[in-house]
Amino acid sequence: MSDVIPARFHLVDERFAGCDGDFVVERLHTGARKAEGPVYFAAGRYLVWSDIPNERLLRWDETTGAVGVFRHSSGYANGNTVDRQGRLVTCEQGNRRVTRTEHDGSITVLADRYDGKLLNSPNDVVVRADGSVWFTDPSYGISDDYEGNRAESEIGGCHVYRIDPRTGQVRIVADDFSRPNGLAFSPDERRLYIVDTRQEPSHIRVFDVTADGGLTGGDIFAECDFGRFDGIRLDEAGRVWAAAWDGLHCFDPDGTLLGKLLLPEAVANLTFGGPRRNHLFIAASTSLYALRVTFNGARYPD
């Protein structure tokens, strides 16, 4: 049974005035140690998210409101996404790999090494319309045993990678990050936004995606004014919604902070769900929150 808290939309710029929604935010579940990586499955009307230190994936059923365990021994799963075929793609920090859950429940390893060396601890992941898989690989899952397994980095850096959809080749697309974290494409998939959590201040950078699947640019798009950024998603208007310690920060495509959705827990990640992509789900510390909003998540090319 969910409980509710007041919805607190904080306007910073007049352009945020149209961003609104329910008067209350539902707390769909609480009791996680570190909630992360929510992803919505439209065909089944359910949401899967990570409880990293408890090493499990949880599942919320939209039709019944029931919450259960989707997968035990998740490999300290962190970020998740769904590909164009409706399959779950997961960053397993503890197993140091990116995997795909097939429709029959079997698991395919998409990447666990670069140039013969083990990855650090994949953190967040997105899939482009061409089938390429893009993920960040900071060291949070190997720095201690809290949300992974303590180990030395074999690569010696924290990079952003692309998996080729035809060959499976893993390629570095950005190598000048301190701790790359959340990432998301613009609605037309011509730009890629990437969080660098451990910069001071924590910030989001924006890159242009080249025809050969590379990245150019990388200017700072926005800086965090409360704590640190984590996961990010875009809405249909191209606004960037970024998880931070006081809630969600909303940025115009020009980088201006428009406003915030304030929450009582530090937010780690978010996703849009529902048939119209206007059901906003938020993973924040111990809890999963949700509310219907007056804007829609980005619709990406098929």
Tens digits of residue pLDDT in 12-41: 999 999 999 999 999 999 999 999 999 999
Q: What pLDDT, on the 0 to 100 scale, is given for residue 153?
A: 98
Q: What pLDDT, on the 0 to 100 scale, is given for residue 154?
A: 98
Tens digits of residue pLDDT in 162-177: 999 999 999 999 999 9
Q: What would the two tokens of residue 282 be?
A: 């938020």
Between CA 219 and CA 173 the distance in angstroms is: 15
Tens digits of residue pLDDT in 189-199: 999 999 999 99
**CB-based contacts of 271: which residues, under 8 Å, 6+ apart?**
38, 39, 40, 47, 233, 280, 281, 297
Tell me what the pLDDT averaged over the chain comes to.
97
Tens digits of residue pLDDT in 100-146: 999 999 999 999 999 999 999 999 999 999 999 999 999 999 999 99
Tens digits of residue pLDDT in 235-271: 999 999 999 999 999 999 999 999 999 999 999 999 9
- Is the pLDDT reported for residue 1 higher than 70? no
- Mean pLDDT along residues 271-281: 97
CB 119, CB 135: distance < 8 Å: no
Q: What would the two tokens of residue 142 be?
A: 């190997």
Between CA 76 and CA 141 the distance in angstroms is: 8
Tens digits of residue pLDDT in 60-108: 999 999 999 999 999 999 999 999 999 999 999 999 999 999 999 999 9
Q: What pLDDT, on the 0 to 100 scale, is given for residue 121?
A: 98
Pairing status of strand 267-273 against strand 279-284: antiparallel
Q: What pLDDT, on the 0 to 100 scale, is given for residue 85?
A: 97
- Mean pLDDT along residues 205-231: 98
Compute φ and ψ for 87, nearest 5 degrees. Answer: -105, 145
- Is the pLDDT reported for residue 2 higher than 90? no
Q: What pLDDT, on the 0 to 100 scale, is given for residue 116?
A: 98
CB 202, CB 228: distance < 8 Å: yes
**CB-based contacts of 58: which residues, under 8 Å, 6+ apart?**
29, 32, 48, 49, 50, 51, 67, 68, 69, 70, 288
Q: What pLDDT, on the 0 to 100 scale, is given for residue 69?
A: 98
